[in-house]
Every structure is written in structure tokens, then in C-alpha cells.
Amino acid sequence: DTAVSQTPKYLVTQMGNDKSIKCEQNLGHDTMYWYKQDSKKFLKIMFSYNNKELIINETVPNRFSPKSPDKAHLNLHINSLELGDSAVYFCASSRNRGLAGVAELFFGEGSRLTVL
Amino acid sequence: AQTVTQSQPEMSVQEAETVTLSCTYDTSESDYYLFWYKQPPSRQMILVIRQEAYKQQNATENRFSVNFQKAAKSFSLKISDSQLGDAAMYFCAYSSQGGSEKLVFGKGTKLTVNP
């Protein structure tokens, strides 16, 4: 059973289109994240949700809108896609904030978005 | 803001040899966590090893160990008896205390293992 699963794994689309990437985790975690990995492999956080509440928004353009219908799901919708949005988008989850100890992030396999 | 620096964009090692990947970080916090993640060509991000800053003992996981120098803000990864399957991008990452905060990643080191 995949712990953190993302769909689709690959997405090719035209500039100006709107697309969504879905993420689901079956680990019972309360916190979920979206990270973007650019063409130079640099990973940067975009959003974090804890129990369906947005807790981190790293100055991402408002064309990107995360939605968390429940704590096991965090979807990413992107409007008016631009060439610079081409990247690999990783979903991740971790256990609840405030618990003692290290909260390891569990990552999905990534979704490669190509904007033409 | 915290930053993580990996000064080696690429490294190579012979199979069965040992290699050390460097990582330095900048923070004003006294309690935090450090991680090494591996990303093979399959793209999956896999946790290799983690270290709590309050622990003086260096973490080890089988062939992987770290050299954590808190005063120097250094967190290097040593891979012993390198195997072909160790070839991957390796990312050093920092997390504030509490753990469920954002991870700040370095730019990665591409490790090649030569047979």
C-alpha cells in the first residue's frame, strides 16, 4: 500500500490551461505539504496544511490554490499555467505538530508537470 | 531565515569505498532537526538519516552515518562500503523544533558510484 500517493504522475499541458494534482495519504498524519522541485532539482515548500487548515503559504502566486477536503487529502489546483510552472510537484505528510521528537516527512513519488 | 548549503554539486565514489557529502546550515535556533534525503532516478524522496540537534551522539543507520558539529553548523553524511544502488541525489534538510514545520533543503549533491 502506497503511503502517500499522487495523481497524475505526469502531466503535459498548454500554457493558459488549468490543471489539478491530487494527493492522498493513508498514514493517519495530520499535516500535509506541497513542495516544488525545479529543473535544477531545488526543492522548496509551497504550502502546508494541518488538519485541513493552511499553516504555511510561501509567497506562491495565487494561481496556485491548495484544497484540503479532509486531513488525508491535499490537492493542488493551478490556474492559467505558465512555462515557469514546469516542475516536479511533491506531496508529503508528517505526524501532528507539537508531538515530541522528529517528524519525518513521507513523500509521494512526485508529479512532473510540463507546460508547453 | 534558515539556509542550508551543500557545496558539492557532484561527487563520485568507487564501489565499496567511502564517501562523505558536506552540508552546512545557518540558524539562530538552538533546537532543530537535520535530515539527509536520497532521491534516486525514480524520483522518490527517501529519508536516509536524521539527527536531533540536542543529541551529541552522531546518528548512524547501517552504512550511513553523520558527523554533526553543532558549533560549526555542519552536518556531513558518510556512506561506507558504497553500493551501486547508492547512486542518487542527496539532499540535506533542516527543520525547526517540533518537526512538523517546513523542511528547508540544500541544493543537493549528485552521487555517482563507479563499479
pLDDT digits (tens, 9 = 90+) for B86-107: 999 999 999 887 545 678 999 9
Q: Which residue in chain A is spatially nearest to B88 when comparing CA positions?
A: A41
How large is the average pLDDT for residues A67-73?
A: 92
Alpha carbons A42 and B39: distance in angstroms, whole number: 12
| Min Cα separation A21/chain B (Å) | 17
pLDDT value at A102 more than 70? no
B83's grid cell: 553500493
Phi, psi of A23, deg, nearest 5: -140, 135
For position B43, what pLDDT does the model report?
87
pLDDT value at B58 more than 60? yes
DSSP annotation of A31: E
Q: Select from B43, B50, B52 the Cβ nearest to the Cβ of A110.
A: B43
Contact at CB, A94 and B50, closer than 8 angstroms:
no
Answer whether A48's CB lies under 8 Å from A31's CB: yes
Alpha carbons B42 and B113: distance in angstroms, whole number: 16
Identify which has the larger pLDDT, A9 or A94. Answer: A9
A104's grid cell: 519525518
Q: Which residues, listed in sequence order, are joined to residue A91 by a DSSP beta bridge? A: A34
A107 CB neighbours in chain B (<8 A) are 44-46
- A2, A41, A63, B5, B56 from B93: Cα distances, Å: 24, 14, 27, 9, 18
Answer whether A91's CB lies under 8 Å from A66's CB: no
For position A97, what pLDDT does the model report?
52
How large is the average pLDDT for residues B18-46?
A: 93
